[in-house]
């Protein structure tokens, strides 16, 4: 990554601290002695206050230099993910995941995207799903720290999960998870990337037909906690070695993995433990909104996944739709599932970096409820129960496990952490970030333990937030980004659908300070993770010659220059084509109506950035072939015509000449 970011950061900080700094090139820039001076004239031109100019310097990444952090952002129902540099907040890339992307040839008649997208649609769906609601990204971890290998993201809408390889930033696998319809809880990755977890959101009927009357909600509907095994070589999800735990038909919400002190456990919040179903078509029925807030408490689900692993190994599972399932009664009998009461309708559950504190955000309660894991474990071991739920799941005694309730403000949703024992919780209703101190096990045993120390208003209506590596065992504590749902008035009007607003917050000063508004005009991100750029050590700039990106192995269809050919076997027309600046070889495809065309394109270049496109007008084909990559396209030639195929990526001076003909004789 070079040393650009460090130099630019140091320059910016030095300027703020000392007023004068010698920049990387040796030129002097400075403020007046009071810090009130102009920054090289620009401050005046842009009409900036000194504070604004200082903020600009902190976020400025000079041309050619790199950002020290990467954000991986979900894109909501755009089905994509965004890669954003921090602190510049520059958009570096969009990664298509659940939806098509013509730039990258993802899902346009090419194997790269189509195979992944189609494999990720359940068999009973007549059409592949071409959209998803990307929700909670989860980076792979080693010993609780991001390791820069893989990235997972769930589809909240369709209960699926995708895996992205951070060698080439491409989606490699989509799995439609059996027995859940929608998903929300997770994804989280366990500390050594043993599993990625995802649980259902709204429960679904566990009946053979997939239908059940809402009158039988309690009997027939179920939730599930899914533990999907990660293949340690490829990062792919190994469904044969995955399992689910059957859960009561509550709405399981956010979830997080235990770490260090709480390693081996997973935690899921819930709401609608009332099992309200909405009006269910009844004139006097109650809305779900009203029915799901009746109880004072819902249940924090506490899952011992190491115990669950043992139960699976002992064969105490049934198989449902191809998935090993630990039944609810087995989970109770084996003592791998416990509940703790949590104030009604909470939202986020976040485990602090030491793994000691489980922080539950109240949503309808102005507090964060902090549970001490050591107490939770002791209560489990001593069977310190205050009762059971309607399904027989033991409920731990609240007073025995609750460590503190910290008053934060209205509408707490999600919490992230820094390296100094502070927690940062988003307040949706107050549209603010609350900074608060954790307790003794996070280094705060003085008067500030479990108290709010600062509130920072943000614009507008924050959902999630992220701090640098803020959900690992080792947060960096430098930056916070508020993921604001509304951006009203923050940007010039661009029509009736507004961008979202990511606000970059500096955590290094004595107070939290907003440095930058960053419009997100390509999706509706829910959650992001922020990783130090120097952890992304495996990123490729070109593929090895002839690589199949699905496996990173040499493709059986790869060719070298000189091996191009056209082979006809009856109606099957195989074309082995090389691609380089600025021609296709061969540039002529002799087809007939009724042929099956199998195109095998090899980009024989090894120059970084020498990507070529391959588009066939009116045949809905658009491929992107990166240097070294092999792309296969299967096409039924069902229409006669002369089709001018062309390179869609501006690759060279003679890019416009990079053309050929697909001839389909009547």
Comparison of 53 and 575: residue with beta carbon closer to ligand CUA = 575
Measured at CB, which residue is nearest to ligand RUQ?
A: 463
The binder of 130, among ligand CUA, ligand RUQ, none, by C-beta within 5 to 8 A per type, is none
Angle at which helices 50-59 and 4-18 pack, to 10 degrees? 160
What's the closest the beta carbon of residue 535 comes to ligand RUQ, in angstroms?
A: 23
What's the closest the beta carbon of residue 169 comes to ligand CUA, in angstroms?
A: 21
d(CA 520, CA 89): 10
Residues near ligand RUQ (CB under 6 A)? 135-136, 184, 347, 413-414, 463-464, 526-527
The CA-based dihedral angle spanning residues 120, 213, 345, 307, taken in that order and rounded to the nearest 10 degrees: -60
d(CA 222, CA 327): 11
Q: How many other CB atoms are there within 10 angstroms of residue 615's CB atom? A: 20
Comparison of 462 and 599: residue with beta carbon closer to ligand CUA = 599
The binder of 658, among ligand RUQ, ligand CUA, none, by C-beta within 5 to 8 A per type, is ligand CUA
The binder of 463, among ligand CUA, ligand RUQ, none, by C-beta within 5 to 8 A per type, is ligand RUQ
Comparison of 270 and 602: residue with beta carbon closer to ligand CUA = 602
Comparison of 65 and 347: residue with beta carbon closer to ligand RUQ = 347
**Can you point out the beta strands (E) in 9-58?**
20-22, 28-30
What's the closest the beta carbon of residue 643 comes to ligand CUA, in angstroms?
A: 17
What's the closest the beta carbon of residue 529 comes to ligand RUQ, in angstroms?
A: 12
Instruction: With contacts defined by CB under 6 A, name the span among 233-241, 330-338, 409-417, 651-659 that binds ligand CUA.
Output: 651-659
Tokens for 564? 């191009």
Comparison of 69 and 428: residue with beta carbon closer to ligand RUQ = 428
What's the closest the beta carbon of residue 88 comes to ligand RUQ, in angstroms?
A: 25
Q: Which of 7, 655, 661, 663 binds ligand CUA (CB under 6 A)?
A: 655
Comparison of 60 and 650: residue with beta carbon closer to ligand CUA = 650
Q: Please name the residues in contact with 511: beta carbons below 8 A apart, sequence gap of 6 or more.
A: 454, 456
What's the closest the beta carbon of residue 661 comes to ligand CUA, in angstroms?
A: 16
Answer yes or no whether residue 649 interacts with ligand CUA by CB under 6 A.
yes
What's the closest the beta carbon of residue 554 comes to ligand CUA, in angstroms?
A: 23
The binder of 647, among ligand CUA, ligand RUQ, none, by C-beta within 5 to 8 A per type, is ligand CUA
Comparison of 394 and 525: residue with beta carbon closer to ligand RUQ = 525
d(CA 666, CA 664): 6
The binder of 592, among ligand CUA, ligand RUQ, none, by C-beta within 5 to 8 A per type, is none
Answer yes or no whether residue 612 interacts with ligand CUA by CB under 6 A.
yes
The binder of 75, among ligand CUA, ligand RUQ, none, by C-beta within 5 to 8 A per type, is none
**Can you point out the beta strands (E) in 201-264?**
204-205, 221-230, 237-247, 251-257
The CA-based dihedral angle spanning residues 422, 427, 430, 432, taken in that order and rounded to the nearest 10 degrees: 50
Q: Which residues of 272-301 are buried (b: 16+ CB within 10 A; e: fewer)?
A: bbbbbbeeeeeeeebebeebbbeeebbbbb
The pairs formed by 521-524 with CB atoms below 8 angstroms and a separation of 24 or more are 521/494, 522/75, 522/78, 522/80, 522/82, 522/91, 522/94, 523/73, 523/74, 523/75, 523/76, 523/77, 523/78, 523/80, 523/82, 523/134, 524/75, 524/76, 524/77, 524/78, 524/485, 524/500
3-state secondary structure 291-329: HCCCCCEEEEEEEEHHHHHHHHHCCCCEEECCEEEECHH
In this structure, the strands spanning 572-580 and 565-569 are: antiparallel
Answer yes or no whether residue 338 interacts with ligand CUA by CB under 6 A.
no
- Of 599, 625, 600, 621, the closest CA to residue 610 belongs to 625
Tokens for 619? 């045949």
Comparison of 135 and 170: residue with beta carbon closer to ligand RUQ = 135
Comparison of 184 and 444: residue with beta carbon closer to ligand RUQ = 184
Distances (CA, A) of 557 to 105, 415, 553, 575, 601: 18, 49, 11, 10, 8
The binder of 135, among ligand RUQ, ligand CUA, none, by C-beta within 5 to 8 A per type, is ligand RUQ
> Segment 562-601, which members bind ligand CUA (CB under 6 A)?
582
Q: 3-class SS at 428?
A: coil
**Residue span 619-648 as binding mask against ligand CUA, x where in contact by CB under 6 A, dash where not:** ----------------------------x-
What's the closest the beta carbon of residue 45 comes to ligand CUA, in angstroms?
A: 40
d(CA 525, CA 134): 8
The binder of 655, among ligand RUQ, ligand CUA, none, by C-beta within 5 to 8 A per type, is ligand CUA
Instruction: With contacts defined by CB under 6 A, name the span among 235-243, 342-350, 354-362, 650-658 that binds ligand CUA.
Output: 650-658
- Of 74, 45, 48, 44, the closest CA to residue 59 belongs to 48
Phi, psi of 11 (to 5 degrees): -60, -45
- Contact between residue 462 and residue 409 where contact means Cβ atoms under 8 Å apart: no
Q: Which of 396, 658, 662, 664 binds ligand CUA (CB under 6 A)?
A: 658
The binder of 649, among ligand CUA, ligand RUQ, none, by C-beta within 5 to 8 A per type, is ligand CUA
What's the closest the beta carbon of residue 234 comes to ligand RUQ, in angstroms?
A: 27
Which residue ranges make up the site for ligand CUA (CB under 6 A)? 582, 612, 647, 649-651, 655, 658
């Amino acid at each position: 990554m070079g040393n650009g970011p460090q130099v630019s950061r140091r320059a910016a900080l030095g300027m703020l601290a000392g007023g004068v700094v010698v920049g990387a090139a040796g030129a002097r820039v400075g403020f007046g002695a009071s810090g009130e001076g102009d920054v090289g004239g620009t401050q005046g031109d842009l009409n900036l206050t000194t504070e604004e100019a200082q903020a600009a310097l902190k976020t400025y990444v000079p041309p050619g230099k790199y950002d020290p952090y990467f954000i991986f952002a979900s894109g909501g129902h755009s089905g994509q993910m965004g890669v954003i540099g921090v602190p510049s907040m520059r958009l570096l890339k969009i990664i298509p995941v659940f939806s098509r992307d013509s730039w990258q040839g993802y899902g346009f008649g090419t194997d790269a995207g189509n195979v992944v997208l189609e494999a990720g649609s359940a068999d009973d769906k007549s059409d592949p799903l071409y959209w998803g609601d990307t929700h909670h990204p989860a980076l792979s971890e080693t010993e609780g720290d991001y390791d820069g290998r893989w990235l997972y993201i769930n589809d909240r809408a369709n209960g699926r999960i995708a895996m992205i390889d951070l060698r080439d930033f491409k989606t490699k696998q989509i799995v439609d998870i059996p027995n859940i319809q929608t998903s929300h809880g997770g994804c989280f990755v366990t500390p050594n990337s043993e599993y990625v977890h995802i649980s259902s959101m709204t429960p679904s009927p566990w009946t053979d037909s997939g239908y059940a009357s809402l009158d039988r909600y309690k009997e027939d509907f179920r939730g599930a906690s899914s533990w999907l095994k990660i293949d340690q070589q490829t990062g792919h999800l190994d469904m044969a070695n995955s399992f689910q735990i059957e859960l009561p038909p509550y709405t399981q919400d956010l979830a997080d993995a235990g770490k260090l002190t709480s390693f081996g456990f997973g935690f899921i919040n819930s709401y609608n433990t009332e099992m309200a179903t909405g009006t269910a078509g009844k004139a006097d029925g109650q809305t779900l909104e009203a029915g799901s807030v009746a109880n004072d408490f819902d249940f924090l689900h506490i899952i011992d996944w190491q115990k669950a692993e043992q139960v699976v190994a002992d064969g105490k599972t049934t198989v449902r739709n191809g998935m090993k399932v630990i039944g609810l009664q087995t989970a109770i009998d084996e003592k791998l599932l416990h509940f703790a009461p949590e104030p009604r309708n909470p939202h986020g559950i976040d485990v602090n970096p030491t793994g000691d504190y489980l922080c539950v955000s109240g949503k309808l309660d102005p507090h964060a409820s902090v549970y001490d894991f050591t107490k939770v474990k002791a209560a489990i071991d001593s069977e310190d129960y205050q009762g059971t739920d309607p399904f027989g799941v033991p409920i731990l005694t609240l007073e025995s496990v609750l460590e503190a309730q910290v008053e934060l403000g209205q509408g707490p949703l999600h919490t992230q952490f820094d390296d100094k024992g502070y927690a940062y919780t988003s307040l949706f209703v107050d549209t603010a970030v609350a900074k608060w101190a954790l307790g003794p096990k996070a280094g705060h045993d003085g008067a500030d333990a479990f108290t709010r120390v600062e509130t920072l208003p943000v614009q507008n209506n924050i959902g999630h937030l992220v701090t640098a590596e803020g959900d690992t065992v080792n947060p960096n504590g430098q930056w916070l980004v508020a993921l604001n749902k509304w951006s009203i008035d923050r940007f010039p009007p661009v029509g009736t659908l507004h961008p979202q607003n990511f606000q970059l917050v500096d955590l290094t000063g004595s107070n939290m300070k907003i440095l930058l508004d960053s419009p997100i005009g390509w999706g509706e991100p829910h959650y992001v993770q922020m990783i130090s750029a120097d952890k992304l050590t495996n990123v490729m700039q070109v593929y090895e010659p002839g690589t199949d990106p699905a496996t990173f192995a040499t493709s059986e269809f790869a060719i070298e220059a000189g091996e191009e050919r056209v082979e006809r076997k009856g109606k099957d027309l195989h074309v082995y084509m090389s691609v380089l600046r600025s021609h296709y070889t061969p540039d002529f495809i002799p087809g007939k109506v009724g042929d099956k065309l199998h195109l095998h394109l090899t980009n024989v270049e090894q120059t970084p950035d020498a990507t070529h496109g391959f588009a066939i007008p009116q045949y809905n084909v658009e491929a992107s072939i990166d240097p070294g990559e092999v792309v296969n396209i299967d096409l039924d030639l069902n229409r006669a015509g002369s089709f001018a195929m062309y390179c869609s990526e501006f690759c060279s001076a003679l890019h416009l000449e990079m053309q050929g003909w697909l001839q389909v004789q009547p």
